Amino acid sequence: MRLPIMTFWLAAAVAVSGCSRETPQTGDSAPEGSAAPVAAVVEHDPFSYAEPGKVRIDDLALELAMDFDAHTLSGSATYTLDWRDGEARQLVLDTRDLDIDKVTGERGDGKWQDLEFDLAAADSRLGSKLTIQAPDRNPRIRVSYTTSPGASGLQWLTPAMTQGGKQPFMFSQSQQIHARSWVPLQDTPQVRFTYTAHVTSPDDVMVLMSADNDPDASRDGDYRFEMPQAIPSYLLAIAAGDLVFEPISERSGVWAEPDMVKKAVAEFADTEKMIQVTEKLYGPYRWGRYDLLILPPSFPYGGMENPRLTFITPTAIVGDKSLVSLIAHELAHSWSGNLVTFATPKDQWLNEGITSYVENRIVEELYGKDFATMEAAIAQNDLRASLADMDPQAQALAIRPEVEVDADSTYTAVAYDKGAWFLMFLEQRFGREAFDAFLRQYFDDFAFQSVTTSTFADYAGEHLLGKHPGKVTEAELEQWLYEPGIPDSAPVSASTQFDRVDTLRQAWLDGEGLPAKDATDAWTTQEWLHFLDSMPPTLEQAQLAELDAAYGFTGTANGEIAMRWYPLAVRSGYTRANGEIAEFLEKIGRRKLIMPTYAELVKTPEGLALAEQVLEKARAGYHPITTASVERVIAVAKGEAGAPVAE
């Protein structure tokens, strides 16, 4: 017998990790009059020690001093608490590598008293559990602390590692579970809080946060921030450096180092149009300003959707706007992720899959169907390739509660590309009009709440399957959510541009010579990516040399091309590219771009030696998350560690 979707999921959740029914949190900005469905059955978050059923942080007030010599933040975090369980007398927080100085609690008479606390030994995955005794259930509690110079969620760069070379730089990357390395917190997306911050820094350094940054703020080393909308901890962000601002529109602009800012504004000039297109599809942008911050090349991701201030890799600035779907993606998170948030990182697809779908819709509106189809086809091919050597358990959108995953590796093609494909399937079956209305309503109904896959499945069951019977069966929905592989019902994105590229590539492989120059001259970056994506696993030296002579792949400034060309070169033993490979791996810290090349290098003794040599040179400039990924791949290759973890 087939169980109904929700029962099926909950049965598994209860059996393995237990679950508790929580009152859904309606944020301040939940739309008036919309009866938000009470569906938030929150599963235990395996990545946090927090006990949100007992007590929740409603507001966080940070008081931090930034020390660029010591590479630390020090000061205090003050929490305004909502004690939910009448029996609760403890506040349990997540921390990692923090030096806890003292803990105080505000009493009824307004005086602050010392509170007892216990900092447990560190767990390598979760960090150290901080248990604070609060017999009086203090309405406010304050923790005084200092971060460690090696904090996993922060990177400190010397002036020499920046573009301008004059001032130091620092930035945070809190997702997945690194906020706890710079603020003691309930580090789970089941808790949302508003925040304020007072940050001091050297005078000439500009400090920004995922809050109300003022484009006209004077640089004086003393900064105040306010974030009036409740956010989950992974969206807490800070950055500091020689940063200047240039507007794109009234509500949008770029923060970057002076040398970079004009280039970035030109590359991302369509940002305001993107906001408008998304608003038309899914309702108003609710966060005030939408600014971009351009990070140094060591930033470990392409982008991070920190509210009001998306963090962006400089590798997306290639001069021809060809990689701007990254902005569409991060902007889309203002609806899917920041507004409606996964309840635990295991439900990553709810953030990343829905966002990747919305990203493609934005791209289609702005750059046309052909372009959007090429991007969707690249993602679908990438997913097919990733599934080929992926554990079937990891291939389901909803990772079952009993399956253990590494927090930083929930970042897979399944969450992104299978997630987006699932929504394309729903759109195709229900029609664009009905599906757009559904998604818009979903964002409104669950605004400022955390949701699980079962919430989504129930909601879709009622508002799509129930409302438009006969279009999608429950079995089809279940297959997409809970089964491995790509369902037969997946609508494949077929690109005529890519068909042409396939024909030309095949002709060359068959010995008929390279495509005519006027054909390739008109190719977009996406066509080049597809040209490389569907090459055989290895090529002859002469073939690689011929491609290089014609197209200059070795040494390319386009990281998306490099991340495809270098692994092919390594697999084919094309050692002529080693110098450029080393340079690329040393300079770029974005994991998605460099890990495929490392993964190929470590497969041979010579390659492994090169990888180790590169890591030693790059280490000082790498972000802790990137260093950890590279070290893991090297250790696994040397037989020094357990199973490899997907990037």
- 304: partner contacted, choices Zn ion, ligand BES, none (Cβ within 5-8 A by kind): ligand BES
Q: Could you give the CA distance from residue 126 to residue 149 in angstroms, rounded to a whole number?
A: 18
Binding to ligand BES by residue 333, rule CB under 6 A? Answer: yes
CB atoms within 10 A of CB 109: 6
Binding mask 243-282 toward ligand BES (x if CB under 6 A, else -) reads ----------------------------------------
Indicate which residues carry an active-site annotation: 330, 416
Footprint of ligand BES on residues 377-416 (CB under 6 A)? 411, 416
Closest separation between CB of residue 383 and ligand BES, Å? 13
CA distances from 561 to 116, 155, 614 (A): 55, 27, 20
Closest separation between CB of residue 173 and ligand BES, Å? 7
The burial class, CB within 10 Å (0-12 / 13-18 / 19+), for 602 is: buried
* Cβ proximity to ligand BES, 138 vs 351, nearer residue: 351
* Choices 240-248, 264-272, 325-333, 576-584 (CB under 6 A): range interacting with ligand BES: 325-333
Cis ω before 155 (30° cut-off from 0): no
Q: Which residues contact 495 (CB under 8 A, 6 or more apart)?
A: 370, 373, 374, 377, 530
* Cβ proximity to Zn ion, 341 vs 355, nearer residue: 355
Binding to ligand BES by residue 422, rule CB under 6 A? Answer: no
Q: Is the backbone of residue 176 left (phi > 0), alpha (psi -120 to 50) or beta?
A: alpha
Closest separation between CB of residue 18 and ligand BES, Å? 26
* Cβ proximity to ligand BES, 351 vs 578, nearer residue: 351
Q: Could you give the CA distance from residue 409 to residue 645 in angstroms, rounded to a whole number?
A: 7
Binding to ligand BES by residue 188, rule CB under 6 A? Answer: no
DSSP state letter for 498: H
Residues in the chain: 647
Closest separation between CB of residue 433 and ligand BES, Å? 27
- 336: partner contacted, choices ligand BES, Zn ion, none (Cβ within 5-8 A by kind): none
- 185: partner contacted, choices Zn ion, ligand BES, none (Cβ within 5-8 A by kind): none
Q: How many helices (H) and strands (E) does the chain have?
A: 20, 23
Beta-ladder partners of 132: 91, 117
Total residues binding ligand BES (CB under 6 A): 15
* Choices 13-21, 263-271, 311-319, 349-357 (CB under 5 A): range interacting with Zn ion: 349-357
The amino acid that residue 3 corresponds to is: L
Closest separation between CB of residue 245 and Zn ion, Å? 24
**Closest residue to ligand BES in the complex (CB):** 302
* Cβ proximity to ligand BES, 171 vs 301, nearer residue: 301
Long-range contacts for 336-339 (Cβ within 8 Å, ≥24 apart)? 336/443, 337/305, 338/231, 338/235, 338/287, 338/305, 338/307, 339/286, 339/443, 339/446, 339/447, 339/448
Closest separation between CB of residue 329 and ligand BES, Å? 4
Binding mask 304-323 toward ligand BES (x if CB under 6 A, else -) reads xx------------------
Nearest-CA neighbor of 208 among 294, 285, 145?
A: 294
Give me the residues that bind Zn ion (CB under 5 A), please. Answer: 352, 355
Give me the residues that bind ligand BES (CB under 6 A), please. Answer: 175-176, 301-305, 326, 329-330, 333, 352, 411, 416, 592
